[in-house]
Amino acid sequence: MGQWEDITRDWWETKVRNCGVCGQMLAAKIWVCEDEGQTCVFCSPDCEELYYTYWRPKYGKHAQKD
């Protein structure tokens, strides 16, 4: 289960972060969790759930290949 974190950056920084599932631009807060030692960034807990229930089983490195 993840946790909310504030995005901190300088006012001139132009780097944009996006949700790892839906692609929504993240402006102030991010939902962060770990998956097999890697940090995953999402826009909400709902996208984290979608990642684990749909995206990872279908497209992840352990997905079954047809």
Cα distances from 38 to residues 19, 32, 66, in angstroms, run 15, 10, 26
Q: Output phi, psi for 17, to 5 deg.
A: -105, 145
- Number of compact structural domains in the chain: 1
Element (H, E) at 50: helix 45-50
Tell me whether residue 12 is in a domain.
no
The rounded distance, in Å, linking the Cα atoms of 66 and 54 is: 16
- pLDDT on residue 63: 66
Tell me whether residue 29 is in a domain.
yes
Tell me whether residue 38 is in a domain.
yes
Instruction: Dump pLDDT digits (tens) for 7-63.
Output: 988 888 888 899 999 999 998 899 999 998 899 999 999 999 999 999 999 988 766
Residue 64's domain comprises 1-7+19-66
Q: List for the chain the helix, strand, coil content (%; round to 5).
A: 25, 30, 45
- pLDDT on residue 66: 59
